[in-house]
Chains A and B, each alone.
Chain A
Amino acid sequence: MEKQASLTASLREHDAVLGGLIRNNPVAIVVLDAEQRVQLINPAFESLFGYPEAEVAGRRIAGLLVPEEAVIESNRAAASGLGGATASLTAQRRRKDGSLVDVEVTFVPFTGNDNQPAGAYVFYRDLTAQRVAERHLRAQYAVIEAMANSSTIEAAAEWVLRAIAESLEWPVGAMWLVDKTSGKMRCIDFWCHEAIDAKPFERQTRGSEFRRGVGPGRTWEINAPTWIVDVTKEPKFSRREAALAAGLHAAISFPMAIDGDVVGVVEFFTLSVLEPDQRLLQMFAALGQQLGAFVGRTRAQEQLERFFTMSGDLLCIATFDGYFTRLNASWHRVLGYTTTELMSQPFIDLVHHEDREATANVVAELRKGQPLALFENRYRCRDGTYRWLSWTSTPKLDEQLIYAVAHDTTDRKLLEQQTQETLKMRNDFVSFVTHQLRTPLSGIKWMLELAKETDEADEKASYVEDARESADRLISLVNDLLDASRLESGKLQVSLEPVRLRQLTYDVVADIATLVEEKHHTLDIECEADIPISMLDPQLLRQVILNLLSNAIKYTPEAGTIQVRIGREGSVLHWSIRDSGIGISEESQKRLFEKFFRADNAHTIDTEGTGLGLYLVRLIVERLGGTITCESEVGRGTLFHFTLPITAGDQV
């Protein structure tokens, strides 16, 4: 004790200036003797560690300040310092209240009068502020990283919350986005440190919506960071009970804003009651601006992305080397390939081989920097069919890329083609009908001319008779055309009467008996016994039978056989006619019942046919609820067969 007292006295005596420096120094300083016992502390030491001088004087410093796990390292530094060399380290030291503080410790040894090590000055520089600044910086970097790695705020939310919360050692964070439609804020993500049980608080947060000015909506309203020292003391805090249960106290929230327009709010909670920290508030204001700008940017990008995705046209970016690098969904929809399939081969391989040369030429032009419009080519679909694409493309020379939009014009082309076909059909119809009308008209005109020029009564009568026959032909043609038109439009009136099919057939045959005789045909009619009377239109049915019979007579070479069969099967009537005529090719059979269609060999027999007879037969049979079919072999003969429903009536 005596030696110690004398040393202290000697120090104070010898270095009053130094003493003043120590005492007034803002850095915490302790003066130790050679055994590391506290000789002197300054007020800065008192305030940093919470010990009054009287309490520490004479005690070993290690036992006072050094946490157990740092004792060895501390002793090494002390030994070095006391050994005569200045030593420095950053470490944690314990305050009187048990809390830890980050400090930079510097040992500066001094010697006594005997030049022997007599003790050391130890300087403790408080690193708390530096640590806080580092944490803030870390949080900012982490947020920037989260934004860089995400394409939307929704995707970035978890990383942003985690980055800030972990950096600041806060346990709970949540992000809210403003929904302009509902005028409310919705929680889009919630982050919680794994050591905290905040499940009810999370549920309530995720399930809540806040209007402007309410809860986190207060931050939205004022567009500035908000700090609640202790939410458990705030009766208005709607999640108070859950916060209490999770042990949460302070709440810090800040807005994400673009040009003063708040798009969302980020909030954090701490486990301890926390007074507002101006530096943190400033940092949050800055982070909020960054996040707001990020939201603005990603939304603008999303809008463009949406156009790209929703476009019905085929949008793509391709390299000058001839590969797609980016494609929208329409490509899959129109061509059927996956994006990977489309991108893994040169696009020229997908082009129709007839269009490849032209395509290669326009690509060459594009590579020279020449934009392109209204180029059309065909692309092969996955199913092997082709689609017509109409292109508008722009090259970007510095990127060596082609930006292109293709419109699928296949349907339009098909329509154009159909229109052309319809037009051609109509022209064909007009020229055909014109021809068919002109022939009997010429007959009438010339016969009357001859009749007028002759004075001989018999000759005159003969010409007039021929003129009348020509007129009949003309009338029958016009009537057929009119019937076809009425049947097509459904305007033809069907008048149902009880019809005996057998009798009707015999009547028609009787009417054309002379034609049968002229060609020396044999005509048989076979009829089952129980053919019932059915409600049918006799005029229309007569026309069907007449047309089929006339054809059989006309297209069967002389002395042929014609067989008509009438039967029934349940509630269906069957009527058929078989001839030994020239027959109809398979090709012609397919189109036989089409309007104006004439079998390829029909001209060899007769040029007056209009191609309307069988067409009318089909229309009438179908109108009466039946069907008609044809079987034939060229050179052997033809069988026509139609059915009709039996709708009422008794047996004949």
Chain B
Amino acid sequence: MSKSILLAEDDRFLRRACETKLKQAGFDVRVAVDGEEALTFAREKVPDLLLLDLLMPKRDGLSVLATLRGDAATKDMRVVIMSNSSKDLERQKAAALGVVDYWIKSNLSLQELCDRVSQLLK
């Protein structure tokens, strides 16, 4: 059974690219277009990995993450932040909320992204 990934990304181009690549690699990918949706989908079915953007409409990534950590059902969810912001403060906040990693999107090729996800979910 393939591993499940929830991809929370509001930019439609980035969302499409990631979704396409990860599906090609055989993952079960579900997408959320804003923070609210991300929270709803994550609660509906806990994914093996949440790829979480930070700057999103309705609810930002850190708020989604904090909410998930406060809920017994989702508190141990594996989360990787995928952002284009390299602010130290955001990195620190994310680390404090126990994320697996923090990736800068523009610094990764889709292949690298896919390889890292595969590595994590091995």
Contacts and interface: CB of A to CB of B under 8 A. Distances in A.
B57 interface: yes
A435 B57 contact: no
Contact of B57 (A438, A441, A466, A603): A603
6 contacts: A431-B85, A438-B106, A446-B17, A446-B18, A450-B17, A450-B20
B78 interface: no
A226 B106 CA distance: 100
- The majority secondary structure among interface residues of chain A is helix
Interface stretch (A13-21, A95-103, A194-202, A604-612): A604-612
B69 interface: no
B97 interface: no
A446 to B, nearest CB: 4
B73 interface: no
B21 interface: yes
Interface string A448-479: 01100000000000000011011000000000
B66 interface: no
A608 B11 contact: yes
B10 interface: yes
Q: Which 4 A-B pairs have the closest CB atoms?
A: A443-B13, A446-B17, A438-B84, A438-B106
Given A441-B106, A450-B21, A603-B57, A466 B13 contact: yes
- Interface size grouping (class) on chain A: 20 to 34
- Interface size grouping (class) on chain B: 20 to 34
Given A431-B85, A434-B84, A449 B55 contact: no
B56 interface: yes
Contact of A603 (B17, B60, B83): B60
Contacts of B21: 446, 450
Interface in A427-453: 431, 434-435, 438-443, 445-447, 449-450
Nearest to A607: B55
Given A431-B86, A607-B56, 9 more contacts: A441-B106, A442-B84, A443-B17, A446-B18, A446-B110, A449-B17, A450-B21, A466-B13, A603-B57
B57 A605 contact: yes
B40 to A, nearest CB: 16
Contact of B110 (A439, A449, A603, A608): A449
Contact of B13 (A435, A447, A449, A606): A447
Interface of A: 431, 434-435, 438-443, 445-447, 449-450, 466-467, 469-470, 603-608
B98 to A, nearest CB: 23
A604 B110 contact: no
B45 interface: no
Given A449-B111, A603-B57, A435 B84 contact: yes
Contacts of B13: 440, 443, 446-447, 466-467, 469-470
A442 B60 contact: no
A476 to B, nearest CB: 15
Contacts of B122: none
B119 interface: no
B84 A447 contact: no
A402 B58 CA distance: 62
Most buried by B among A446, A447, A603, A606: A446
Contacts of B84: 434-435, 438-439, 442
Contacts of B109: 445-446, 449
A446 B85 contact: no
Contact of B105 (A442, A450, A470): A442
A446 B21 CA distance: 9
Most buried by B among A439, A440, A441: A439
Most buried by A among B57, B60, B111: B57
A452 to B, nearest CB: 10
Contact of B106 (A431, A445, A603): A445
A435 B37 CA distance: 23
A608 B20 CA distance: 22
Contact of A466 (B16, B55, B106, B111): B16
Nearest to A431: B87
Nearest to A432: B85
B121 interface: no
